[in-house]
Amino acid sequence: MRAIDWVDGHIRFLDQTLLPHEERFVDTTDVAVVAEAIRSLRIRGAPAIGVAAGFGVVVAVRTAAANGAGDIRGAALEAIDELASTRPTAVNLFYALSRMRTIVLHHPGGRSLGAALLAEARAMQDEDVAACDRIGRHGAALFNGRTRFLTHCNAGALATAGIGTAIGVITTAARQGHVERVFVDETRPLLQGARLTAWELRRAGIEAVLITDNAAGSVMRAAKVDAVIVGADRIAANGDAANKIGTYPVAVLARHHGIPFYVAAPLSTIDRALESGDAIPIEERAPEEISEWGGKRVTADGVRVFAPAFDVTPHDLITSIITDAGVLAPPYGPAIAAAFERR
């Protein structure tokens, strides 16, 4: 299954807002549709967003060329700006758009620009597939016996171009016979764990046990968890990691109960320009995602809402960062720098 792909001249993506009840793929050649899908979480997950953005620039250029636009390069840059405005936290989006911008600025222009951009977008897709495979192998090597995992949000195939990051580690370990079960945090307010991760694990034949977010501590205290593993949307140069809101308290609970806490992400998710997680921009979502349920208001009128989409887990709560370049151990500053030097 590919949540985002390029098929016969158009973008095809799985509408994740309809899961798990309906598997509907959307085909489009409209960059505005791609931008809206990223904003509305129909396309989500940092690596998947980056791949989608790359293909989004391609369709913008192709549309401009088909309509006889004289400034194809301008259409590409306009699409890059539109896509960059969709979601602020996931660094893979900006990494992908930076690569596309470089192609635009250094290409002579004309109709061949579309081919060059498509080649770059496909390269990023292939790179993510390979990165996920390496993350899975590196991470699975950390576990033996029958491991009981706990995870938060969704970092599987739905969130990437490949097998996933955190879930990719779990599925790889499962193929080696090293997974007993996975406790899946529901991940409020949009239930990415309940709707997406549990669905993916079931498809993979792995036992998934859904729990409410506020049950994680009790499950850990009952000695039912051997390891916590999550993905990330942006990692600072010191190892601080931004992930779906609710990840930070899971890390605190894991530390209290002596359970290792792993972050799995490709090197492209690491933003070395940011010294620490304090500088990571945190997206705020619409208040209705908290104040309403199923389109019906669940709180009194006038109640204010604070709806951050992500929180930052400090590096000192992270046991290891599992990347496509290997497993990084503290201190993360030197480890991250060395990983990029080896790449």
Does 233 participate in catalysis according to the annotation? yes
Sheet with 270-271, strands from edge to edge, namely 270-271, 234-236, 241-244, 310-313
Please tell me what DSSP assigns to residue 151.
E
Residue type, 135: I
Q: Is 50 left (phi over 0), alpha (psi -120 to 50) or beta?
A: alpha
Asked whether the beta carbons of 155 and 165 are under 8 A apart, the reply is yes
Per DSSP bridges, beta strands 292-293 and 241-244 are: unpaired
Compute the distance between CA of residue 268 and CA of residue 254 in angstroms, rounded to an integer: 26
Q: Could you tell me if 124 and 4 are in contact, meaning their C-beta atoms sit under 8 angstroms apart?
A: no
CA distances from 203 to 79, 86, 156, 309, 335 (A): 35, 30, 12, 27, 35
Is the Cβ–Cβ distance between 192 and 154 less than 8 Å? yes
Distances (CA, A) of 218 to 21, 98, 221, 290: 30, 44, 5, 24
Identify whether the C-beta of residue 271 lies closer than 8 Å to the C-beta of residue 340: no
Tokens of 287: 């208040």
Pairing assessment for the beta strands 147-151 and 25-28 based on DSSP bridges: unpaired
157 secondary structure, DSSP code: G
Which of the residues 233, 240, 271, 324 is marked catalytic?
Answer: 233
Residues identified as active-site: 233
